[in-house]
Amino acid sequence: MRRLVAFLALLWTLVNLAVAYFFVTSAFVAKTAAKEGPLAQLSLLVGGVLIAGFAILLARECLRMFGSSDSSGSA
């Protein structure tokens, strides 16, 4: 059961990394600066970096769960 949860969480991290990629790339598009201004660019950049950071932390925990044995006791 732990491996299934770890697998699903790993899929969730991949989706979050894709969202973070779009946030960060949108922060550097000229249309964002022209329409919304530098505050919107900064918000997209910080948001993308935070989403990516949390996704990487979750992926590390998922990989740790894959490495642990299922018979280590009840969770």
Domain limits of the chain? 2-13+24-67
Sequential pLDDT tens for the chain (75 residues): 888 999 999 999 999 999 999 999 988 887 877 888 889 899 999 999 999 999 999 999 999 988 876 555 555
CB-based contacts of 68: which residues, under 8 Å, 6+ apart?
A: 2
Biggest CA pair distance of the chain:
57
Residue 70 has what DSSP assignment? T
pLDDT of residue 16: 97
Residue 7, helix vs strand vs coil: helix
Q: How far apart are CA 14 and CA 6, in angstroms?
A: 12
Q: The tokens of 3 are what?
A: 């491996």
* Pure H helices in 28-74: 30-35, 38-67
